[in-house]
Structure 1
Amino acid sequence: MCSGSCANHSTYDLCFFHFENKIGAECSSTIEDIYVVLAETDRGVKEQLRLYDTKGVQEGEEFPKHYFSIADGFVLVYAVNSLESFERVDWLKKEIDKCRDKKEGSVIVLGNKADLLEERQVDTEVAQQWARLEKVKLWEVSTTDTKTLMEPFTVLASKLSQSQNKSTFPLPGRRTKGNNDDS
């Protein structure tokens, strides 16, 4: 994988936290995975987003603070059919604010399973009002309709590319200030 400016685009590291399953429910949760997404900005520039898909944080667990040092941004995901998952996203957003000490970084929130209208537990307007108070962008999406995911990642890539705050996660081949080595 080529990162940094050697690929004519920047690479941004994002932590992806999802709270979509009811606590205690039987599920096959993600332990941890990494995905690389090429997202086009609103200026037509392609940016590489490296998503660190975490297992989320279960009730009573300590938030893994090492993510704060590597992440350029955060994608928080809840399920619109689980009020509990929305409350966990609220808690995690507050943890991010405390730990990052208002450091520059982007946070977006995705309300997944928007297609499950009959099962909805999180009202759209309540979620949007929360997002305005927290000063984050929130979209309701459905993984069954991948078009709903395009706008959030376009906005995120655009915001990250406007920022000069590049990732500090040391990877081979990444160019950082004062490092012109293309190895």
Structure 2
Amino acid sequence: MGKIIKVVVCGMKGVGKTTILEQAVYGNITNKTEFYPTIEDIYVANIESDKGTREKLRFYDTAGIEPSQIATANGTTNQQLPRHYLVLADGYILVYDTGKCNSLDAIISIKK
């Protein structure tokens, strides 16, 4: 077994972070699932790389950012991920909803 790759998934509340992970890891494609806000969850997927080695991906599904925590035009609020995510992550997946303009603002705020 190769290295465990840790990926943090973040974005505004309700943009579909958990749904994307459920579909990618378990193949669950459901349109009528009731929405429960995530506090924090971990999904694990075992994949085979191009070189034929097995890799383990650990996805950290984070709590969504509240719309009130998004940076304003003058940058007075800067939403940050909890520090433990910054230390452990090998990569990030930033999720936003194309129907919610402020969800992209949340991603820009996190990225800073």
* Equivalent in the alignment of 2:89: 71
Alpha-carbon deviations, 1:26-84, whole Å to 9, x = none?
x5211111110123334343311111111133233653122111111111111122211
* Equivalent in the alignment of 2:101: 83
How far apart, CA to CA, are the structure 1 residues paired with 2:9 and 2:102? Answer: 18
How far apart, CA to CA, are the structure 2 residues paired with 1:82 and 1:45? Answer: 40
How far apart, CA to CA, are the structure 2 residues paired with 1:86 and 1:18? Answer: 8
Q: Given the superposition, is the C-alpha separation of residues 89 and 10 from structure 1 closer, same or farther in structure 2, using an over 3 Å criterion?
A: same
Cα shift at 1:21: 2.6
TM-score (norm 1): 0.39
Structure 2 residue identity aligned to 1:13: K
Q: Which stretches in structure 1 are left out of the alignment for 5+ residues?
A: 1-7, 95-183
Q: Given the superposition, is the C-alpha separation of residues 62 and 20 from structure 1 closer, same or farther in structure 2, using an over 3 Å criterion?
A: closer
Structure 2 residue identity aligned to 1:87: D
TM-score (norm 2): 0.61
How far apart, CA to CA, are the structure 1 residues paired with 2:59 and 2:43? Answer: 5
Structure 1 residue identity aligned to 2:54: K
User: Between the two proteins, what is the percent identity of the paired residues?
Assistant: 35
Contact 2:13 2:37 in 1 (8 A): no
Deviation beyond 6 Å, 4+ runs, structure 1: none
* Equivalent in the alignment of 1:168: none
Tell me if 1:54 matches 2:37: no
Q: Given the superposition, is the C-alpha separation of residues 34 and 90 from structure 1 closer, same or farther in structure 2, using an over 3 Å criterion?
A: same
* Equivalent in the alignment of 1:10: 3
How far apart, CA to CA, are the structure 1 residues paired with 2:52 and 2:98? Answer: 31
Matched ranges for 1:1-183 at <5 A: 8-19=1-12, 21=14, 28-58=36-66, 59-60=68-69, 62-94=80-112
Higher relative contact order (CA 8 A, sep 6+): 2
Cα shift at 1:16: 1.2
How far apart, CA to CA, are the structure 1 residues paired with 2:99 and 2:50? Answer: 31
Q: Given the superposition, is the C-alpha separation of residues 45 and 66 from structure 1 closer, same or farther in structure 2, using an over 3 Å criterion?
A: same
Q: Which structure is larger by alpha-carbon Rg, 1 or 2?
A: 1
Contact 2:12 2:103 in 1 (8 A): yes
How far apart, CA to CA, are the structure 2 residues paired with 1:79 and 1:40? Answer: 30
Q: Which protein is richer in helix relative to its size?
A: 1
Q: Which stretches in structure 2 are left out of the alignment for 5+ residues?
A: 16-34, 70-78
